[in-house]
Amino acid sequence: MRPALLDPLFASLDTLPGVGPKLGELFARLFGRESVEECRVLDLLFHAPHAIVDRRHQPGIANSPAGAIVTIKGRVDRHQPPPPGRASLPTRVFIQDETGELALTFFKVKGNWLEKSLPIDETVIVSGKVDWFNGRASMVHPDLMVLEADAASMAMVEPVYGLTAGLSQKVLRRTLEAALARLPALPEWQDDAFLRKQGFEPAREAFLALHAPRDATDIDPQAPARRRLAYDEFLAGQLSLSLVRQRLRAVPGTPVRGTGALTRPVLDALPFTLTGSQRQAVADVTADMAKDERMLRLLQGDVGSGKTAVALMAMLAAVEAGGQAALMAPTEILARQHHATLSRMAAPAGITIDILTGRTKSRERDAVLERIASGETQIVIGTHALFQDTVAYHRLLLAVVDEQHRFGVHQRLRLTAKGVSPHMLVMTATPIPRTLVLAAFGDMDVSKLTEKPAGRKPIQTVTLPTERIGEMVERLRAAIAEGKKIYWICPLVEESEESDLMSAEERFQTLVAALGPVAGLVHGRMAGAEKDAAMLAFKSGETRLLVATTVVEVGVDVPDATIMVIEHAERFGLAQLHQLRGRVGRGDAASSCILLYKGPLSQTAHARLSILRDTEDGFVIAEEDLKLRGEGELLGTRQSGTPGFRLASLEAHADLLETARKDAAYIIERDPDLTTPRGEALRTLLYLFRRDEAIRFLRAG
The distance of closest approach from Cβ of residue 331 to Mg ion in the complex, given in angstroms and rounded to an integer, is: 11
With CB under 6 A as the contact rule, the residue among 64, 254, 308, 684 that binds ligand ADP is: 308
Segments of 261-342 assigned E as strands: 296-301, 324-328
Q: Which is nearer to ligand ADP, 329 or 519 (CB)?
A: 329
By CB under 5 A, tell whether 491 contacts Mg ion. no
Smallest Cα–Cα separation from 574: which of 530, 516, 615, 525?
615
> Helix or strand or coil: residue 327?
strand
The distance of closest approach from Cβ of residue 309 to ligand ADP in the complex, given in angstroms and rounded to an integer, is: 5
Hey, which residues between 276 and 295 contact ligand ADP (CB under 6 A)?
Answer: 278
Hey, which residues between 503 and 532 contact ligand ADP (CB under 6 A)?
Answer: none
Hey, which residues between 166 and 195 contact ligand ADP (CB under 6 A)?
Answer: none
- Give the whole-angstrom CA distance, residue 516 versus residue 518: 6
Contact segment (CB under 5 A) with Mg ion among 137-145, 234-242, 490-498, 552-560 equals 552-560
Q: Which is nearer to ligand ADP, 158 or 402 (CB)?
A: 402
- Give the whole-angstrom CA distance, residue 310 versus residue 313: 5
By CB under 6 A, tell whether 272 contacts ligand ADP. yes
By CB under 6 A, tell whether 431 contacts ligand ADP. no
Q: Could you tell me the CA-to-CA distances from 41 to 47, 145, 177 in Å, in that order? A: 10, 30, 11
Dihedral-angle region of residue 483 (phi above 0 means left; psi in -120 to 50 means alpha; beta otherwise) = left
- Other Cβ atoms less than 10 A from the Cβ of 203: the count is 24
Q: How far apart are the first and last CA of the chain?
A: 8
- Give the whole-angstrom CA distance, residue 386 versus residue 266: 25
Contact segment (CB under 6 A) with ligand ADP among 271-279, 569-577, 655-663, 686-694 equals 271-279
Contact segment (CB under 6 A) with ligand ADP among 157-165, 507-515, 555-563, 689-697 equals 555-563
Longest dimension (CA), the chain: 99
Q: Which is nearer to ligand ADP, 278 or 404 (CB)?
A: 278
Render 442-498 in DSSP notation, one character per residue.
Answer: -S-EEEEE-SPPTTPPPEEEEEEEGGGHHHHHHHHHHHHHTT-EEEEEPPP-TT-HH
Smallest Cα–Cα separation from 563: which of 463, 653, 485?
485
Letters for 444-463 (x = contact with ligand ADP by CB under 6 A, - = none) are ---------xx---------
* Partner that binds at residue 433, options ligand ADP, Mg ion, none, CB closer than 5 to 8 Å by kind: none
The distance of closest approach from Cβ of residue 554 to ligand ADP in the complex, given in angstroms and rounded to an integer, is: 9
By CB under 5 A, tell whether 555 contacts Mg ion. yes
Q: Which is nearer to Mg ion, 42 or 342 (CB)?
A: 342
By CB under 6 A, tell whether 559 contacts ligand ADP. yes
Angle at 644 between CA 643 and CA 646, to 5 degrees: 110
> Within 301-331, where are the H helices?
307-320
Smallest Cα–Cα separation from 490: which of 476, 478, 505, 472?
505
* C-alpha of 687 from chain center: 21
* Partner that binds at residue 100, options ligand ADP, Mg ion, none, CB closer than 5 to 8 Å by kind: none
* Partner that binds at residue 309, options ligand ADP, Mg ion, none, CB closer than 5 to 8 Å by kind: ligand ADP
Q: Which is nearer to Mg ion, 413 or 561 (CB)?
A: 561
Contact segment (CB under 5 A) with Mg ion among 69-77, 376-384, 494-502, 548-556 equals 548-556
With CB under 6 A as the contact rule, the residue among 240, 305, 447, 463 that binds ligand ADP is: 305
The distance of closest approach from Cβ of residue 360 to ligand ADP in the complex, given in angstroms and rounded to an integer, is: 23
* Partner that binds at residue 557, options ligand ADP, Mg ion, none, CB closer than 5 to 8 Å by kind: ligand ADP
> Helix or strand or coil: residue 140?
strand
Contact segment (CB under 5 A) with Mg ion among 16-24, 181-189, 551-559, 588-596 equals 551-559
The distance of closest approach from Cβ of residue 359 to Mg ion in the complex, given in angstroms and rounded to an integer, is: 20
Total site size for ligand ADP, rule CB under 6 A? 19
The distance of closest approach from Cβ of residue 509 to Mg ion in the complex, given in angstroms and rounded to an integer, is: 31
* Partner that binds at residue 267, options Mg ion, ligand ADP, none, CB closer than 5 to 8 Å by kind: none
By CB under 6 A, tell whether 585 contacts ligand ADP. no
The distance of closest approach from Cβ of residue 314 to ligand ADP in the complex, given in angstroms and rounded to an integer, is: 13
By CB under 6 A, tell whether 429 contacts ligand ADP. yes
Q: Which helix (H) or strand (E) holds 260?
A: none
> Helix or strand or coil: residue 311?
helix
With CB under 6 A as the contact rule, the residue among 301, 382, 520, 644 that binds ligand ADP is: 301
Beta carbons within 8 Å of 5's beta carbon, 6+ residues apart: 184, 186, 684
Phi, psi of 136 (to 5 degrees): -110, 140
Contact segment (CB under 6 A) with ligand ADP among 303-311, 381-389, 523-531, 658-666 equals 303-311
Q: Are 146 and 153 in contact (CB under 8 A)?
A: yes
Q: Could you tell me the CA-to-CA distances from 192 to 188, 189, 202, 361 in Å, in that order? A: 8, 9, 10, 58
Smallest Cα–Cα separation from 456: which of 267, 281, 616?
616
* Partner that binds at residue 113, options ligand ADP, Mg ion, none, CB closer than 5 to 8 Å by kind: none
With CB under 6 A as the contact rule, the residue among 128, 304, 422, 636 that binds ligand ADP is: 304
Q: Are 591 and 457 in contact (CB under 8 A)?
A: yes
Contact segment (CB under 6 A) with ligand ADP among 101-109, 173-181, 254-262, 307-315 equals 307-315
Phi, psi of 167 (to 5 degrees): -105, 130
List residues binding Mg ion (CB under 5 A). 555
List residues binding ligand ADP (CB under 6 A). 272, 274-275, 278, 301, 303-309, 429, 453-454, 555, 557, 559, 586
